[in-house]
Structure 1
Amino acid sequence: MRKILGAASLIMSTCVVHAEQLKEQQQTSPYSANVTFASQYISRGFQQTWGKPALQGGLDYANPNGFFVGTWASSVSSNYLRDASVEWDFYTGYLKTIDKFSIGMSVFYYYYPGAKSTPETGSSSYNYGEIIPQIGYGPLSLKYFVTYTPDYAGYNSKTMGGSAGKRSRGSSYLDLNFTQPINDTWTFGAHYGYERIKNFSESNFQDVKAELIKDLGDGWTTGLAYTKAWDKNSYYKKYSNGEPGAPISNPIDSTFTVSVKKVF
């Protein structure tokens, strides 16, 4: 079951990035778009493009009253998720900022077209959704992701084994971020996260991230990020997508990612 779980457990959203982009964009129009080319797609410490480059993009609407809605997509590897090529996210929410204090709530749904576990594990879907309350003060922000769908990323008794009928609704992810401008063009960011998977605690994990972002002007930015994830029992160090003979990888190793982004 570890092979199946390895793939399922690593499906993570980039919710933090989306929400912060909406907060930071200072434009005359409430509509915006973004395109990113990255050396790989990393989310919550896991390498989702099998170490290969990723193409990403999104569309957003952010009302001055704090309401926002949008969609975002990234390429993923079929070695990482069986029969997957794209992660497609949909989200909406509200973010209110008063001086240095912010508070908000958002709802996300993560869609992986065509991606399912093997027939032997019930052909389980990896699609899932989360509700995310958040607060912030100055450079610090805290978010708490809670799974509202029956399963979190395909975690259930068919893919995990154990007692029949177990689901993973109510799984949670604690997300603590620090973002601090260094000067007019450079920004430093740091992150710590902890994922708790309901009914399947052996697959809980933690992750960290440190990054530098350079504002190049005219909507262009470039970034360099260091990421790493780990778990108590080294559960994710060897996994495949579950297919017989599928490649095995360690997606939680420490790694660096370079990216270039354009906001329109």
Structure 2
Amino acid sequence: MRARVACSALLLCGVATSARADDAGRRWSGDLTLASQYVSRGFQQSWGRPALQGGLDCATPQGWFAGTWASGVSPRFVEGGRMEWDLYAGYAGSHDALDYRAALYHYRYPGARISATGTPYDYGEAILGAGWHGWSLDYSVTWTRDYFGFNSRTLGIGERMHSRGSTYLDLKRRIDLGHRYGLTLHYGWQRVNHFRDYGWRDASVALARGFGGFDATLAYARGWNGAGVYRAYSTGVADSNGRLHVSNPIAGTWYFTVGRSF
């Protein structure tokens, strides 16, 4: 899970105007961000604690791109994990006011595994997206056997079912407010294949401003799950003090980020 899917592709569409080129015509760009917490698709993945995030992208003038991005996460949200590490590659282009993109993503959580079943959290998605006059729409489909470790063994539902084919719809509206301010409105819908009760919807609003080469964002996000399966979320594993940490990771929350692109 991550929040950077749509904005990464949009950034790469325009990277040729801002990044340096090497002898092969490739374009490089990167970013480094400090977040008060890591919130992705409505989920508080760092359990309300600060997270350091950063990425590096490479694109060609023909529209092909590849990159990597990472963020700190909490082992209270991902059992045994402290980092999300994303790898991606694809193609982005534009025609008049329309931009479009297609990419493959693989999300890794090094060292993280659901100990009761030995299931990793790692998963992959194929993503198609388009943007037009400040609107963007991205559609993601899980191509790996499981989405974020969801299967019959980990959830205790059915027999030998996996969550390949899970989908996420990401709709955004970006509004330029002038004076280096920008507003982003987001709505998302996650469907977990074969496990309907574990799907959710999420929304967020974010106000951003650029200053002195940095970008600062204040945002509010929350999610909704009709079955209530996330109200008392836990990995089920106690910490070193024997305490079991329980929370609602999709409850409404504010967070703040400061970052710099290069």
TM-score, L = length of structure 2: 0.92
Within the candidate set 226, 241, 245, 2:220 is matched to 226
Give the % identical residues: 39
Equivalences for 1:189-200 in 2 at 5 Å?
189-200=184-195
* Partner in structure 2 of residue 123 of structure 1: 118
- Unaligned runs of 5+ residues in structure 1 are 1-10
Within the candidate set 59, 79, 82, 1:85 is matched to 82
**Residue 182 of structure 1 aligns to a residue in which SS?**
strand
Contact kept, 8 Å, 1:50 with 1:251, in 2: the verdict is yes
- Structure 1 runs (4+) deviating above 6 angstroms are none
Task: Figure out how many residues of one structure are paired with residues of the other and give that number.
Answer: 251
Cα deviation for residue 23 of structure 1 reads 3.2
1:17 aligns with 2:7: yes
Of structures 1 and 2, the one with the larger relative CO (CA 8 A, separation 6+) is 1
Cα deviation for residue 135 of structure 1 reads 1.5
Equivalences for 1:44-83 in 2 at 5 Å?
44-83=41-80
Contact kept, 8 Å, 2:6 with 2:136, in 1: the verdict is no
* Structure 1 residues 155 and 248: alpha-carbon distance in aligned structure 2, compared to 1, 3 A threshold: same
Aligned amino acid, residue 77 of structure 1: S
Contact kept, 8 Å, 1:62 with 1:68, in 2: the verdict is yes
Cα deviation for residue 15 of structure 1 reads 1.5
Q: How far apart, CA to CA, are the structure 2 residues paired with 1:17 and 1:227?
A: 17
Q: How far apart, CA to CA, are the structure 1 residues paired with 2:74 and 2:7?
A: 21
**Larger CA deviation: 225-234 vs 14-23:** 14-23
Q: How far apart, CA to CA, are the structure 1 residues paired with 2:7 and 2:76?
A: 25
* Structure 1 residues 253 and 241: alpha-carbon distance in aligned structure 2, compared to 1, 3 A threshold: same
Cα deviation for residue 67 of structure 1 reads 1.2
Equivalences for 1:24-35 in 2 at 5 Å?
24-25=14-15, 26-29=17-20, 30-35=27-32
Q: How far apart, CA to CA, are the structure 2 residues paired with 1:131 and 1:175?
A: 13
* Structure 1 residues 67 and 184: alpha-carbon distance in aligned structure 2, compared to 1, 3 A threshold: farther
**Residue 202 of structure 1 aligns to a residue in which SS?**
helix
**Residue 227 of structure 2 aligns to a residue in which SS?**
coil
Root-mean-square deviation (Å): 1.3
**Larger CA deviation: 27-36 vs 139-148:** 27-36
Contact kept, 8 Å, 1:118 with 1:242, in 2: the verdict is no
* Partner in structure 2 of residue 250 of structure 1: 248
Deviations 1:30-72 (A, max 9, x none): 1112100010000001101110000001111122222111000
